[in-house]
Structures are given as structure tokens and as C-alpha cells.
Amino acid sequence: MNKIEKMLQVYFIAGTQDIVQGTLFSVLEEALQAGITCFQFREKGAGSLNDPTEIEETAKKCQELCQAYNVPFLVNDNVELALKLGADGVHVGQSDQEIQEVLRLFAGKIVGLSCETAEHIEKANQLTEITYYGVGPVFGTISKADAVQPIGVKTLDTYARKALKPVVAIGGISLDNCQEVLATAVSGISVISAITRAESISQAVATLMKKD
């Protein structure tokens, strides 16, 4: 298992809007203690922060927590914020900033790209500087109002095998369905609510990490 594949094993995504109990910082620290392998700061959607200064301060505190546990800290979509903080990397979608420009700005850093179709995978395969692909949504998701139709586990496996870079599965992954996702060719899974809404974060992370 290479370094990137290991990083993608339990990939936690969250912002203040996802927290139902405690704070983003307390949930993140508990998740870091439990063994998450990567964290993506995603401050977006209903209930998220609007003030740029507050967003930056929140992201910085999350970054410091990740640094304390030696876990990569990525920023979702907000290229400017990621550059300002000196984040370990950035994750962008198909409709975000032009991927070639992002790769230029983050030369030598982690760049993840969301891929939802076979065509997305084929195009991404031509850009060797991309670090990993986020493929999905595998299942229906509550975190994105504009989410596309779920691709399902079988298509996920097909896409992961076509991909020339490690794949992290995204979209609607829970403690109940994670094992069927982990049985595919993906390197790991990314989750929001499976951790933020877990009764026990340590148990949740252990379940998400497990490969039968």
C-alpha cells in the first residue's frame, strides 16, 4: 500500500454545518485520536459560516489539530484559502476552478478531483499530476443538495479499476454499507455523517477502516 492509498483509508470530511453535538474541533480531535487518515475542511451548504475571517480561523484551527496528529489537511474547493493556509492539498469538483490551473498552483502538493462518470475518469487519467480521484456518489447523500444520481457499488468498482490513480469512494457511505464499498477496488472511503453523527466515533472509525 503506497502513501496515498494509506491516506485515503478513512477520509473524513466536515465543516461546522455538519456538527450535531459538540464542536467541529472536538469531533475532529476525537476522529484524529480514533485514527482517521485524512481530513478535508468543507465549509459549505445550509448552516455553514459566511464570514471569510471566521472561515479562515476555523480552518486554521482544524489544520493545527491535523498537524498535531500528523494527518493530511485538505481544503474543499476553496483554492485561495488552501493556498493562504499552506494546506497539504485541495480537493476540487468538475465544475470548480480549472483543474490544470489548480495543479499548477499546488505543484508538489495533494490534489484530489471528483469524478462521477467514466468520461471524468478517462480525462483525469490524462493528468498525471492529480493525486487521487474522489468517485461517486456511491449512494444517495444528505450533505449535497445538488448531488448527482448515485452510481452504485458495481459501477464504483468498474471506475476504480479504470482509474490510474488511487480512488476514494464518496457519497452516502455509512457504517451499514461501508463493507460492500471496501470490497471494491477503492483505496478507501470518505464520510461526513458516519463520523459526525456516530454514537461512538472511535467505533465508527474502526468499522470504516476494517477490510474483510
Write out the catalytic residue numbers. Answer: 42, 114, 144
**Strands (DSSP E) found in the chain:** 10-14, 38-41, 73-76, 89-92, 110-115, 132-135, 167-169, 188-191
Handedness of CA 16, 34, 175, 165 (dihedral sign): positive
Rg (CA), the chain: 16
CA–CA distance, 41 with 168 (Å, rounded to integer): 16
Chain Cα centroid distance, residue 37: 10
* Backbone phi, psi, residue 164, to 5°: -90, -5
